[in-house]
Structure 1
Amino acid sequence: MKFNTNYNYKGILRMVPVVLAAGLMFTQTSCTKDYKSFNTNPVEVTDSMLKLDFVGLGIFITQEQTNVFPNATSGDASAYQVAQNLSADLYSGYMGTPTAFNGGQNNSNYFMMQGWNNAAFNVGYTSVMSAWNEVKRRAAATHPDMYAVASIVKVEAMHRVTDIYGPLPYTRFGGGGITIPYDSQDSIYHSFFRELDTAIQTLTAFVQANPGQKPLQKSDFVYGSDYKKWIRFANSLKLRLAMRIVYAEPVLAKQKAEEAVSNSYGVLTTNDDNANVKTTNGIIITHPLWVITDPYGDIRMSANMESFLVGYKDPRLSSYFKPSVAFPGQYKGIRNGIQIVAKSDREGFSQLNFQQSSPVQWMTAAEIFFLRAEGALWGWNMGGTPQSLYEQGIAVSFDQHSAGNATNYINDAVSKAAPYIDPVNAANNVADPSSDLSTITIKWNDGDSFERKLERIITQKWISVYPDGEEAWSEFRRTGYPKIFPVVVNNSGGIIDTKVQIRRLPFPLSEYQNNTTEVGKAAAFLSGPDNPGTKLWWDKK
């Protein structure tokens, strides 16, 4: 266990640029001349240095990319642990913790740790928005293609942040001043669409005018400066965001989803298109979940994952998790929201199956097929039927995880989620029958109701999006699927409904201390008080 519970960065919104150490390492290793004196503190990097070989812009784009999931280059997973792992990764039903943080009362059972709740906000602004602002300042006019990539990454990072808190200081970021007003979440989403549309247009024009050029090849840890893939990713991100707002703004959702799919460069369709941050040019990417699973020993398979993957006899099970040490030959998950007495009670449950060098996943082709399947279910033009796109999503996910041929799995009309048994404490069991246990099967049934079809799509999407708990939690909140076991112990004092489950994180304490007036105004954009039981703008179902 290793994490800092405070994460109170004073003056975040003063927008002082932060240069990632990995970016500095990149500049030291990628050029052989003019850098003898570059082994200096990052804050001493000068504008003249940053003009050389696009290196300056590359540093900031690298910083953005490696902090969508925090600190992918450092080997220190503490920021990721509190920004996502001890919140969204748990609330999504993907993972469980054996560790009795704060004496057993913590975010996992709705005793909200304020220091933890600051982390996602702070990383978003100090590591992503500040870097994007530097690219904007240096390149928006002179290198619009690089600014377009930086803007796409910003949207990828910040949609995750707004989907945690709701309103944010966003559209007026970087305009100067000590404090920044908040935007409502609907206006932030509208800005996302504008930014993605502009970036797609800019990169399309660049590719047509400069075929084969890769200006960011040395600093792009995702696509190696393949701008065609960046366009496909931007379209796919646009589709993801369109689906997110389907219950809040259905007309706009349909418009943006159809635009994304019909674009001439299309969306992600093969695993070669998957967006992953990976080791590049000697800069090592360390997967934070490997750190939290192995050296820290603080995260394990969830009870929900055990229930679905074991119940479905899912061949991806061994790709996702390792057999339990405590129960050899079995896969054993931890139910969230239970009373943890001692770490040793469940530390021997199934570990996550990551290597230190595993790429960090942003988005996969499988997710996009499931998004298109849902869009087709709504009657949108998604280039296929709900069934065909649903089945393609499963097949592509199987291929991604080397799980063999998916035909038998796709045609399984019998298997369901398995009951859950906690061998340490039977009070945590989920029996069959139970309203908390899913009854959805795998095989598509065109005669099912809309909701039954939607549950089938989202359940398989949930399996394929693993391990991105942030995306899975958002989709659970949006749709109510898959069925995620509610907490056993609810320490929220009545603020969070046990059945409805947690809907957001409260604004950071640091904002109430440093941006007091504006965060106070931001509460008016919420549908209720600034607490974890209040739904976000798009959470309308």
Structure 2
Amino acid sequence: MKIKYKLYTAILGMGLLFSACTDGFENINKEYLPDLDPAESDLVFALKSGSTYAGAHLHQRIKNINIDCFSQYFENGAINRTWAPNDGYNIDYWSDHYRWLLHANSSIEGTKDSPEKINLNSVARIWRTYMQSQFLDFFGPAPMPTTKGENSAYIELKDQYTFFFKELSEASAAINTDKGFVSKSTQDIIFQGDLGKWQRFANSLHLRLAIKLSEIDPTLCAQEVTNAAKAKGGLMIANSDNAKGPIMSNGLWGQQYNYFMYQQSWGSKEVMTTTMEKIFTNLGGIAFNEEAKKAPAKLDPRGTKYFAPSVKGLWQGIPPGLNASETATDKPLLDSMAVDYAYLSPVWIVKNNTKPIDLLMYTEVCFLMAEANERGFVASGSAEEWYNKGVTASMEAWGVAAADITTYLKSADKNGWGTSAAYGDAAGNGNTKLEKIITQKYIANFPDVALEAWNDKRRLNLPAFVTPRYTSPAAGTYPLDKNIQNPNNFISRMAYPQQEVFVNKDKYEAGVALLGAGGDKTSTPLWWASKRSNYCTSNVN
């Protein structure tokens, strides 16, 4: 109880005294949304910033250059393909995250004693949990400022997750859907004032976080999965419940769908990896439906909606972890990256600059429930029913014909890793039910929810990934043995900003100790992934 109390008061303390961030804070509020109550203004600011990485600067540097690479959704440039930490980028995320959290905490603190603002308070608590959980997935144990404004201790992940579950349960239960919480529905950029959707988002986020404990604490995982599934308001029930962060789309820097800007405005191709190529190839048994000089005969119908054939007409991926200094082997591939490899579809993904950013979708909830049922964490429907719902919802969202969906779900054709779409087909390596579930979840979350793809890779070593050819010695210790069943071949976290060594040295060192023997390296697993579980049965390299 003492730990929980300290964590709770420390988090709330951000809204009271944080000497590094409070100078001119009232003016920031007035300039941002001058006509709103300060608590509402703070929440609106946190919603906008936390849902979009506050624009292109952090989205490119944290999501696109780091997380998209770690999840093998894209091979998009030289900066972090070998996992070497970029301290400047990490400092920016660290600093901005705590600024966003300050606004959420100020909203919570300003409404906690006002029963008439319980909905505003609840939404702010839910959103704070979303932002902080994303941040911890990137770095690991992190500090919380105290009410004295001093540099704070790093809090271990186990205690933060305990706090998250409590927060989400209480906040969801406290919501009164008969009343509002913002002065105008447009101030709620996520759900436009729909508190029923906020409840379902909270419970679905609870489910996401609970499943993450499947390996480290199966008992707690099962308990919290059940709590999430049975919570007031229920889980997301359709694609219309999807949580999205809207883009201002005014053509200014960072105010458009960022992948559109990277590829269409800048001309920098977001290139498919060989991992994605293997996942899509032959899956579902449906014929390739685009013109191309080189392509698989059969392809998951989402494959060409995600990636268009290259400039040369080639629907193929590039290997991850290439080393430009290997002039005989890797450099020629990198030099031809813009013309030889499939890239983000300009017809479906980046056809305009207005696409909102997906945060948590109904399809993910379906696959979370499929896994929970398959592994005995909950009994709610059947794993196959949830799996089929998830595949169908994903296909429908991308305009796949109903007849093709039916064909797909019956197909025993194996993809490049040995996985088929039909839930009942168990033949061959790489084709367990869990491999099917996580493969489909991986596909459905593309491209915006790459963090969850990386989370599943760290937690389960699924789906199968191509091992990188090279990793930077500055990143961590990796065997590079080309064994796809060895979780140690894949990145586990991002290193802390090195400014922490200077401004928060003692507590930084205590935080590093919470990581365990590996220290502050990208190869050190986070608490919930520390079992180094491997569920990959594919024997394809």
Match of 1:332 in 2: 316
Q: Unpaired runs of 5+ in structure 2?
A: 1-16, 284-298, 325-330, 481-485, 534-541
- CA separation in 2, counterparts of 1:144 and 1:111? 44
User: Any idea what the Cα deviations from partners look like across 1:493-520, whole Å, max 9, x if unmatched?
Assistant: 6623335211111111121122112111
Instruction: Find the partner of 2:27 among 44, 50, 71.
Output: 44
1:338-357 to structure 2, matched below 5 A, reads 338-340=322-324, 341=331, 344-348=335-339, 349-352=341-344, 353-354=349-350, 355-357=352-354
Match of 1:270 in 2: 238
**Residue 157 (1) aligns with residue 157 (2):** no
Deviation at 1:214, TM superposition (A): 5.5
User: Any idea what the Cα deviations from partners look like across 1:388-441, whole Å, max 9, x if unmatched?
Assistant: 111111001111111222111111101312xxxxxxxxxxxxxxxxxxxx2111
Give the aligned residue type for 1:120.
Y
Look up the SS of the partner of 2:441 in the other structure: helix
Contact preservation (8 Å) 1:133, 1:174:
no
1:365-514 to structure 2, matched below 5 A, reads 365-405=362-402, 406-417=405-416, 438-445=417-424, 452-467=432-447, 468-492=449-473, 495-498=477-480, 499=486, 500=488, 501-514=490-503
Look up the SS of the partner of 2:432 in the other structure: helix
1:287-326 to structure 2, matched below 5 A, reads 287-296=257-266, 297=268, 299-312=270-283, 313-325=299-311
- CA separation in 1, counterparts of 2:151 and 2:170? 28
- CA separation in 2, counterparts of 1:223 and 1:116? 30
- CA separation in 2, counterparts of 1:255 and 1:227? 25
Deviation at 1:121, TM superposition (A): 2.5
Go from structure 1 to structure 2 and tell me whether the alpha carbon gap of 1:159 and 1:15 turns closer, same or farther (over 3 Å shift).
Answer: farther
- CA separation in 1, counterparts of 2:307 and 2:185? 34
TM-score (norm 1): 0.80
Q: Percent same amino acid among aligned pairs? A: 24
Contact preservation (8 Å) 1:235, 1:263:
yes
**Residue 118 (1) aligns with residue 91 (2):** yes
Instruction: Find the partner of 1:16 among 18, 21, 38.
Output: 21
Look up the SS of the partner of 2:244 in the other structure: strand
- CA separation in 2, counterparts of 1:140 and 1:147? 6
Give the aligned residue type for 2:397.
Q
Contact preservation (8 Å) 1:58, 1:220:
no
Contact preservation (8 Å) 1:112, 1:492:
no
Contact preservation (8 Å) 2:207, 2:368:
yes
- CA separation in 1, counterparts of 2:431 and 2:413? 19
User: Any idea what the Cα deviations from partners look like across 1:106-128, whole Å, max 9, x if unmatched?
Assistant: x31133333233343233212x2
Aligned residues: 469
Give the aligned residue type for 2:257.
H
Go from structure 1 to structure 2 and tell me whether the alpha carbon gap of 1:414 and 1:515 turns closer, same or farther (over 3 Å shift).
Answer: same
Look up the SS of the partner of 1:57 in the other structure: helix
User: Any idea what the Cα deviations from partners look like across 1:321-364, whole Å, max 9, x if unmatched?
Assistant: 23312x22x33333220124486521233332323111100011
Look up the SS of the partner of 2:359 in the other structure: strand
Contact preservation (8 Å) 1:416, 1:439:
yes
- CA separation in 1, counterparts of 2:271 and 2:31? 48
Match of 2:511 in 1: 522
Match of 1:362 in 2: 359
Instruction: Find the partner of 2:78 among 100, 113, 128.
Output: 100
Give the aligned residue type for 2:506.
T
Contact preservation (8 Å) 1:271, 1:364:
yes
- CA separation in 1, counterparts of 2:70 and 2:156? 24
Match of 1:420 in 2: none
- CA separation in 2, counterparts of 1:59 and 1:287? 24
Instruction: Find the partner of 2:110 among 134, 138, 142.
Output: 138
**CA RMSD, aligned part only?**
2.9
Moved more, 496-505 or 395-404: 496-505
Contact preservation (8 Å) 1:221, 1:279:
no
Contact preservation (8 Å) 2:249, 2:257:
no
Go from structure 1 to structure 2 and tell me whether the alpha carbon gap of 1:275 and 1:48 turns closer, same or farther (over 3 Å shift).
Answer: closer
Deviation at 1:137, TM superposition (A): 3.1
Match of 1:534 in 2: 524
Instruction: Find the partner of 2:172 among 200, 211, 227.
Output: 200
Match of 1:67 in 2: 49
- CA separation in 1, counterparts of 2:181 and 2:466? 49
Give the aligned residue type for 1:390.
Y
Give the aligned residue type for 1:409.
Y
Contact preservation (8 Å) 2:200, 2:236:
yes
Higher relative contact order (CA 8 A, sep 6+): 1
- CA separation in 2, counterparts of 1:379 and 1:176? 45
- CA separation in 2, counterparts of 1:213 and 1:61? 11
Go from structure 1 to structure 2 and tell me whether the alpha carbon gap of 1:397 and 1:178 turns closer, same or farther (over 3 Å shift).
Answer: same
Deviation at 1:13, TM superposition (A): 6.5
Go from structure 1 to structure 2 and tell me whether the alpha carbon gap of 1:108 and 1:117 turns closer, same or farther (over 3 Å shift).
Answer: farther
Instruction: Find the partner of 2:228 among 253, 260, 266.
Output: 260
- CA separation in 1, counterparts of 2:228 and 2:160? 19
Deviation at 1:456, TM superposition (A): 1.1
Match of 1:181 in 2: 153
